[in-house]
Amino acid sequence: TLLQTLEWSPLSSSTAAALEIGIDALFTLETSLRFVVYPNRRYFLLDAFNLIDFCAAAPMVLRCMAGFAVSIDDKEDWLGHYLLCFVPVLRLLKILRRYRQFHLLLKAFRLAGEALPVMLFCYFVGLLLFAALIYTCERPDNVESLSQAMWLTVVTMTTLGYGDVTPKTSAGKIVVSILTVTSTLYMAVPLG
Per-residue pLDDT, averaged over 158-166, amounts to 85
Residue 75 pLDDT greater than 60, yes or no: no
> Residues 157-183: what's their mean pLDDT?
91
Residue 174 banded pLDDT, cuts 50, 70, 90: very high
Computed over every residue of the chain, the mean pLDDT equals 81
pLDDT of res. 179: 94
pTM attached to this predicted model:
0.56
Q: What percent of the chain has a predicted confidence (pLDDT) above 90?
A: 29
pLDDT confidence of residue 53: 84
d(CA 175, CA 160): 17
Q: What is the pLDDT of residue 192?
A: 53
Please state the rounded mean pLDDT for residues 140-155.
Answer: 92
Q: Return the HEC string of the chain.
A: CCHHHCCCCCCCHHHHHHHHHHHHHHHHHHHHHHHHHCCCHHHHHHCHHHHHHHHHHCHHHHHHHHCCCCCCCCCCCHHHHHHHHHHHHHHHHHHHHHCHHHHHHHHHHHHHCCCHHHHHHHHHHHHHHHHHHHHHHCCCCCCCCHHHHHHHHHHHHCCCCCCCCCCCCHHHHHHHHHHHHHHHHHHCCCCC
pLDDT tens figures, 5-47: 566 667 676 777 777 778 778 888 888 898 999 888 888 888 8
129 pLDDT higher than 70: yes
